[in-house]
Amino acid sequence: TVAVVLFTSDLRLHDHPPLRAALAAADEVVPLFVRDPAVHAAGFDAPNRNAFLAECLTDLDASLRRRGGRLVVRTGPVVREVRALAAECQASEVHMSAGVTGFAQCREERLRDALAADGVALRVHDGVVTAVGAGTVTPAGSDHYAVFTPYFRRWSQERLRNPCPAPRTVRVPDSVRGEPLPSRDGLSDVSPGLPAGGETRGRERFARWARRDLSGYEDGHDDLAGDVTSRLSPYLHFGALSPVELVQRARTHGGPGADAFVRQLCWRDFHHQVLAARPAASVQDYRTRHDRWRTEDEAAEDIAAWREGRTGYPVVDAAMRQLRYEGWMHNRARLLAAGFLAKTLYVDWRIGARHFLGLLVDGDIVNNQLNWQWVAGTGTDTRPNRVLNPVVQGRRFDPQGGYVRRWVPELRDVANNRIHEPWRLPERERAHLDYPEPLIDLADGLARFRHARGLD
Ligand code: FAD
């Protein structure tokens, strides 16, 4: 007997329940990845993620080969490809992980119907892409939690399964043919500082980080210059690491740092369960609708300055330049850069979210869109009208200016007490800096925000 395992956002061998179930059910399995043009057409891919994905696939293939198998890659509409492959190798079942986006839900439904018509069973496994499956814990009277803290309390009580080990051997039918693996070489517009992808790299990174920085995570996670967060988000996005395994390993480690890290992983699950229940929240305001946003036409120059990291607010500019260079940004920096666009400039959050998605190596519809909504005050933040001040936040989370100096070299020689407000430097010194004046007075931005929200 033969089973197909369709890999999607779960590009790993450790703790992979669909693969494990397929190996238990069949003599041979076909590990399959489909490059579906619909992903590109929907605007979900981006050069940084394509590069990282290529390395995840290469690594997965190498790990499978060490176990006697290989990864089969095909290009085409996913339903057509899975169906054709199942027929070719006479598979009786197809296994895959449950997804949460509208795209993933629709894919699952279409696959189920198409395969059923051929007499092939589709087995969908929950709790692979997230630690706790979306929809597993719900409050009384609703299909999802809309507020994080009660969700976290309930989520923490869930008993997680034990992570399953990577298989020892994988037998793939000889007759099955695939395409050459995609490669990172030759891809254009990839950020120069992009990390390397793949399960092997992800596991190494986690082990190193857990040894060195996990204990200090609670105190250090907001320190922009310290940069001690795990940077595991791209590996989680592609499923090169298992969220269940990370939660379990952090809990075994124990301590306040590990608790704080587990709480962040819960944020990821939280957003997944919101989007699974409300797929339209990827584009529509989730809780409170605001319709006075400035549009691309109305705010073209402000948006361009923000994208390029020349707003004149050093911490915002540092954040936007880090995004371009690394395809990644520190969480505190994301909050500040996004808050500046959505609240101080009062530009539609969707414009900012699109720019982030075009560059972030961990960029995903779930976490990006819902975090943007949180920041814009249209989503799950219980204090939707708070406005972060980039000067105050810069002083607090980058007190020595190390983060700003790293990404905005024009300000390298500015003293700590002026690094977050270089416009206050004496004119003589100011004139030597090749750095813009503030794009907007913060008080004016706040007044516009309050007016648009009917708060004045
Ligand atoms: P750590 O601090 O080490 O946290 C560990 C893991 O917890 C992360 O890897 C991530 O998977 C998860 N996590 C942490 N914070 C959050 C959060 N607020 N929401 C959801 N999961 C979280 N994260 C993405 O994975 N993809 C995105 O597209 C994305 N877009 C964002 C956009 C905005 C405007 C904001 C404010 C946040 C966004 N985040 C996104 C969340 C967060 O900023 C990143 O997950 C985090 O910075 C990744 O760095 P890390 O792996 O070092 O995190």
All residues at 6 or more sequence positions from 438 whose CB lies less than 8 Å from its CB, including other chains: 311, 312, 313, 423
pLDDT in tens, 358-378: 999 999 999 999 999 999 999
Pocket of ligand 1 (CB under 6 A): 221, 229-233, 236-237, 261, 264-265, 267-268, 271, 331, 334-335, 338, 356, 360, 362-364, 367-368, 371-372, 375
The radius of gyration of the chain from alpha carbons, rounded to an integer in Å, stands at 23
Q: Which of 49, 331, 336, 375 to mutate to test the pocket of ligand 1 (most atoms within 8 A of CB)?
A: 331
C-alpha pair distances (Å), 350 with each of 30, 35, 370, 445 = 39, 26, 11, 19
Over residues 192-196, the mean pLDDT reads: 97
CA 437, CA 311: separation in Å to the nearest integer? 8
If you measure from the C-alpha of residue 319 to the centroid of ligand 1, how many angstroms do you get, rounded to a whole number? Answer: 14
ipTM (interface pTM): 0.99
If you measure from the C-alpha of residue 409 to the centroid of ligand 1, how many angstroms do you get, rounded to a whole number? Answer: 26
Running DSSP on this structure, what letter comes out for residue 278? -
- Please answer whether residues 73 and 179 qualify as being in contact, where contact means their C-beta atoms are separated by less than 8 angstroms: yes
pLDDT in tens, 220-278: 999 999 999 999 999 999 999 999 999 999 999 999 999 999 999 999 999 999 999 99
Nearest residue to 338 via CA among 297, 298, 379, 398: 379
Backbone angles phi, psi at 347, to 5 degrees: -100, 140
Ligand 1 atom closest to the Cα of residue 237 is 25
Nearest-CA residue for ligand 1 atom 31 is 368
Q: Thinking of the domain 130-160+201-277, which architecture would CATH place it in?
A: Alpha Horseshoe (1.25)
Q: Thinking of the domain 2-129, which architecture would CATH place it in?
A: 3-Layer(aba) Sandwich (3.40)
| 24: pLDDT strictly greater than 90 | yes
**pTM (predicted TM-score):** 0.98
Running DSSP on this structure, what letter comes out for residue 160? P
pLDDT in tens, 111-153: 999 999 999 999 999 989 999 999 999 999 999 999 999 999 9
- pLDDT computed for residue 456 by the predictor: 87
Tell me the average pLDDT of the chain. 96
pLDDT in tens, 414-434: 999 999 999 999 999 999 999
Domain boundaries, the chain: 2-129, 130-160+201-277, 300-452
Is 2-129's fold the same as 300-452's?
no
- pLDDT band at residue 288, thresholds of 50, 70 and 90? confident
Over residues 399-417, the mean pLDDT reads: 97
% residues pLDDT > 90 (the chain) = 96
Nearest-CA residue for ligand 1 atom 29 is 368
Nearest-CA residue for ligand 1 atom 37 is 371
Q: How far apart are the first and last CA of the chain?
A: 69
Nearest residue to 150 via CA among 383, 382, 387: 382
pLDDT in tens, 205-221: 999 999 999 999 999 99
- pLDDT band at residue 291, thresholds of 50, 70 and 90? confident
If you measure from the C-alpha of residue 362 to the centroid of ligand 1, how many angstroms do you get, rounded to a whole number? Answer: 8
Nearest-CA residue for ligand 1 atom 21 is 268
Residue 379: exposure state from Cβ atoms within 10 A (0-12, 13-18, ≥19): buried
- Please answer whether residues 242 and 15 qualify as being in contact, where contact means their C-beta atoms are separated by less than 8 angstroms: yes
**What CATH fold (topology level) applies to the domain 300-452?**
DNA Cyclobutane Dipyrimidine Photolyase, subunit A; domain 3 (1.10.579)
DSSP per residue over 223-240, as a string?
A: -TTT--S---HHHHHTTS
